[in-house]
Structure 1
Amino acid sequence: YFYEIFKHFDLKLRNRIIWRFNHGLHCKKRFSVRYEVILWFTKTDEYIFNLDPVRIPAKYPGKRHFKGPKRGQLSGNPLGKNPSDIWDVVKQDWEDEVWDIPNVKANHPEKTEHPCQFPVELVQRCVLALTQPKGVVLDPYCGVGSTVIGALQHNRRAIAAEQDSTYVAITRERIQKFTQGTLPLRPLGKPIHQPTGKERVAQLPLDWK
């Protein structure tokens, strides 16, 4: 739907980004959805793309060119590699190069009453890569303001719109808490808890044996 609208106005598709997460509603009549699609369009061929702030550690930082004029020279970048267009979005493990950004569920520190709230971490990567400091970030469907918070965190200005007065009030409250330094936020790159298998909830219930 949005793709056709953007193409109608001659916007140029640069990336179709897949954000994959591990938790959500369990469907009964179809496969459970565990991803969202982010479409990155630009108006012209002159656009902002800051790769360095969002690079992830390379799996083989010591890799070298094996042929050609650069044979023997390091082939990577000391800041890391391009995160690609599939985001397992929290840096769960540097060795696995994973930026695994979990979705906002009941025990997430950013959780509000919004049923499908986006995590601020997801916004941060877009803000850092696709805008400049002091630039403007627009979210016409801002929900509870995660985009606004992500923009403010990195010295960007934000413009937001939302028709639900309850969510507008929550957004204002979150902005106020952010400016006061009291807004609960999940730290960027915090590893996701991995069960050991010894937890009671991770074991097969006796009822099923």
Structure 2
Amino acid sequence: MEQLPDLLLQTPLPIEPCFRTEARLVAFQGDVSDCLKQIPDETIQLIITSPPYNLGKEYENRRDIADYLKTQVPVLQQLYRVLKKEGSLCWQVGNFVEEGEVYPLDIFYYPLFKNQGFKLRNRIIWRFGHGLHASKRLSGRYETLLWFTKSDHYVFNLDDIRVPPKYPGKRHFKGPNKGKPSCNPLGKNPSDVWEFLLEEWEEGLWDIPNVKSNHPEKTVHPCQFPVELAERCVLAFSNEDDWVLDPYMGVGSALIAAIMHNRRAAGCDKEARYVAIAKERLMALFSGTLRYRPLGKPIHEPTGRERVTQIPQEWISNL
């Protein structure tokens, strides 16, 4: 079990079943539209979610992609309504695949957000090194996170997400600043493709391991995204005590990230068992027993020597 951040609250927060502006933690079980109706206009600072992909998972009914996108429009209208003017929305999606043809959902979603008045700031690539292997096309190793804002004035805590410069000792070689450091002492601005390698935020890719069978955060949810992914959005696009909302919260990863960094958190899911697991994980967070992959933990790189077995004698004799 990994060491949890020191700023965790010592006393568990009450998990409210319905939204109240004075609450700090809400886990709503039911339809997303019923949840959003409870939230007053311009209350939420950050919306971060991964919606159903229309892949035919146990919690969704697969349908034509055009029909699927139509069902999302009323939700986007409500999300725009509840978001503060200086707020952000992070929409994480992968690909819809039908009869071997790939439909990149972020591209299909973009005009829907644009029609509601959202403004795209970055199309962030979340890269992961492991996943299912394809046999008739290249294996997919990334998903996309669309960062939208409601207006041109928005929260962006760049200093909280800066990365170490590649050449920290680099200096100006001419001009009035000759000989002075040319790098920002707080670090450089990360790119829109982030990777976490041997040092936290060292490169420009979000190389965050996806939640598969051996991931410490793995639950029964088939499409769970890691807390680490949500943490970066929470730090960059919200401030302490702000409301963070996940309208498709699954097992509560975004809520956990928000509470860890002293934000208010609200989430919704129609599946009662996922809401129950989310509540269990939140209580484990408060008790210090949550299985969690820390922000910026080095990613294991196989050497090819991990599984050394006894070599059969007949192999040796044939050398």
| TM-score (normalizing by structure 2) | 0.60
What is the Cα-based RMSD across aligned positions, in Å? Answer: 2.0
Residue 191 of structure 1 corresponds to 298
DSSP-derived class of the 1:194 partner: coil
Aligned mates of 1:95, 1:116 — CA distance in 2: 25
Shift, 1:201, TM fit: 7.1
Counterparts in 2 of 1:188 and 1:96: CA distance versus 1, 3 Å: closer
Is the Cα–Cα contact under 8 Å of residues 163 and 201 in structure 2 kept in the other structure?
Answer: no
* Structure 2 residue 115 is matched with structure 1 residue 8: yes
Identity %: 62
Residue 180 of structure 1 corresponds to 287
AA aligned opposite 1:200: R
Shift, 1:68, TM fit: 3.6
Alignment of 1:23-102 (within 5 A): 23-88=130-195, 90-93=196-199, 97=203, 100-102=207-209
Give the alignment partner of residue 252 of structure 2, picking from 121, 145, 150. 145
AA aligned opposite 1:161: C
**Higher share in strand:** 2
Is the Cα–Cα contact under 8 Å of residues 56 and 83 in structure 1 kept in the other structure?
Answer: yes
* Structure 2 residue 126 is matched with structure 1 residue 19: yes
Shift, 1:32, TM fit: 1.4
Gapped regions of structure 2 (runs ≥ 5): 1-107, 310-314
Aligned mates of 2:201, 2:286 — CA distance in 1: 35
Residue 234 of structure 2 corresponds to 127
Shift, 1:92, TM fit: 2.2
Residue 3 of structure 2 corresponds to none
Shift, 1:156, TM fit: 0.5
Shift, 1:57, TM fit: 1.0
DSSP-derived class of the 2:233 partner: helix
Is the Cα–Cα contact under 8 Å of residues 63 and 76 in structure 1 kept in the other structure?
Answer: yes
Residue by residue over 1:57-103, the C-alpha shift from the partner in whole angstroms, topping out at 9 and shown as x without a partner, is 11101112234433332111222111210022x34246953663211
Aligned mates of 1:26, 1:52 — CA distance in 2: 38
Counterparts in 2 of 1:185 and 1:6: CA distance versus 1, 3 Å: same
Aligned mates of 1:171, 1:113 — CA distance in 2: 11
Shift, 1:168, TM fit: 1.0
AA aligned opposite 2:255: V
Gapped regions of structure 1 (runs ≥ 5): none
Is the Cα–Cα contact under 8 Å of residues 141 and 162 in structure 1 kept in the other structure?
Answer: yes
DSSP-derived class of the 1:160 partner: strand
DSSP-derived class of the 2:207 partner: coil
Shift, 1:36, TM fit: 0.9
Structure with the bigger RCO (C-alpha within 8 Å, sep 6+) is 2
AA aligned opposite 2:283: Q
Residue by residue over 1:4-25, the C-alpha shift from the partner in whole angstroms, topping out at 9 and shown as x without a partner, is 1110012111100001111111
* Count of paired positions: 202
DSSP-derived class of the 1:86 partner: coil
Give the alignment partner of residue 169 of structure 1, picking from 273, 276, 279. 276
Counterparts in 2 of 1:86 and 1:201: CA distance versus 1, 3 Å: farther
Aligned mates of 2:111, 2:143 — CA distance in 1: 18
AA aligned opposite 1:103: N
Is the Cα–Cα contact under 8 Å of residues 199 and 298 in structure 2 kept in the other structure?
Answer: yes
AA aligned opposite 1:123: A
AA aligned opposite 1:47: Y
* Structure 2 residue 278 is matched with structure 1 residue 159: no
Aligned mates of 1:169, 1:158 — CA distance in 2: 16
| TM-score (normalizing by structure 1) | 0.89
